[in-house]
């Protein structure tokens, strides 16, 4: 399996509900470094996994929707703890939707899997990984 990885970051404010979170129940900030890994069994006709430039732009656009936001105020996240694990899935789903919409170009139809890793510090991170659906006409 071949892979390519692009990286970006975003900053948020949020708070958590539940005693397991201790002082993180109070409003606090977080800066996440995000790795987007795209995988495929065979290289495309150009000899690449995906266009790194387009993948970088796509990730930046998705993270821009979250950057400098207080996640406690985002209606879609109401009643949810926006943990690192939860946010990894949110980013995964949003990127996958854009890939399905053609934002990585026609050769992205051969992508098989994707992994999104959010690094909340140099010693702790969480990820979500899954298969990418085949695009219509692929």
CATH code at position 73:
3.30.479.10
Q: What is the count of structural domains for the chain?
A: 1
Residue 87 lies inside a defined structural domain of this protein: no
Q: Which residues of the chain carry a pLDDT beneath 70?
A: 134-138
Q: Are 12 and 65 in contact (CB under 8 A)?
A: no
Residue 52 belongs to some domain of the structure: yes
pTM (2 decimals)? 0.94
Q: What is the pLDDT of residues 51-64, one digit of tens each?
A: 999 999 999 999 99
Query: Is residue 99 domain-resident?
Result: no
pLDDT at 135: 57
pLDDT at 137: 47
Cβ proximity of 112 and 39 under 8 Å: yes
Q: Is 112 helix (H, G, I), strand (E, B) or coil?
A: coil
What percent of the chain clears pLDDT 90, i.e. is strictly above it? 93
Indicate whether 134 belongs to any domain: no
- Domain limits for position 37: 1-78+106-116
């Amino acid at each position: 399996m071949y892979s390519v990885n692009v990286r970006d970051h975003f900053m948020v404010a949020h708070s958590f509900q539940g005693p397991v979170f201790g002082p993180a129940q109070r409003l606090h900030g977080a800066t996440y470094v995000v790795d987007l890994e795209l995988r495929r069994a065979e290289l495309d006709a150009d000899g690449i996994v995906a266009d790194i430039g387009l993948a970088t732009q796509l990730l930046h656009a998705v993270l821009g929707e979250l950057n400098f936001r207080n996640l406690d105020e985002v209606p879609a996240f109401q009643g949810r703890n926006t943990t690192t694990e939860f946010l990894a899935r949110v980013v995964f789903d949003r990127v996958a939707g854009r890939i399905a919409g053609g934002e990585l170009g026609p050769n992205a139809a051969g992508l098989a899997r994707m992994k999104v890793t959010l690094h909340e510090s140099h010693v702790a991170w969480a990820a979500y990984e899954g298969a990418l659906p085949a695009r219509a006409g692929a």
